[in-house]
Structure 1
């Protein structure tokens, strides 16, 4: 009988722990002892969790019909659901060590009580973050094909500019070889020929002066 009562008590404690965890997931708030607060009762049937989930499913279906990216993600989820599963830890790390009493477990949990309000405040602060308008996000997604075309055009222009630079470098090299170096060689040849003519003229003048002196 004592074993049955112990098992029943442990089962109730585990159920209460799961209930507190669900309450914290729903509200994100806790009291000063770290115990999650009980969520408020919905005002109407439309505010229940099942109705809210149904509305979210309906909105997601509408969004998937209008936004191709959302539809692709949903198809990817239906084909490869393992990609969207969180990484599971080993079973040994999830097991409660044997030999610990409820008081010991409670003290261990309460030692982390100071972290609960901080985490709750961070989760609450997420509500203050502005959510982008769905139409704006859809319009940005619709611009993706144009952005892809612009990226391809930019890549083609970059390739053309690179080719023009190579051709310009070759033209400059040809102009330097023909216009600068070739002209220099031509002027050097002309200068050499002029020097030869001058030497011949001087020689003829010396010969003529010698003949005149003999006469």
Structure 2
């Protein structure tokens, strides 16, 4: 191995050791008398491992989301828009742009600054709702949930009634309207046959009378 490769390998190992020490300090927050971060202690049991603790936290979060609608809404918001919960990383000013171009970019957003400031000011002017009102609204949440469930059941019942009504109307149309039409058509045909028979007999009678 060449001398340059040894230096690169040594620098890489030192960098990894520094990152490992930084991670150890973030996990434990303890250092020895020399300032070197101490490693994390071995868990006393399997339940104290990081994986088991994460599983317990996920279960507790799931229970909390089922019990508190606000937490459930927050989790859904995080799933739909994860970028809202991630801080925007700082970006360096591109060196290839001239000051005139940078100024034009900043000035293009100048109209948004007063609008944003007025909105923030209006938020500051909004009164904070009374705690008793918020507590009463929170206490009403179970009733609202029951009412929402009742509304869903009523909507399902109405949907079933609509289907049954459509079937009854279809049956009434097929039996009442179309059946009556067919019956009237049959009666009309029979009447026409009787009228033809009566006329035929009248013609025969008139011929007999004329012959006499």
Task: Give the TM-score normalised by the residue count of structure 2.
Answer: 0.49
The one of the two structures with greater contact order (alpha-carbon pairs below 8 A, sep at least 6) is: 1
Task: Give the TM-score normalised by the residue count of structure 1.
Answer: 0.48
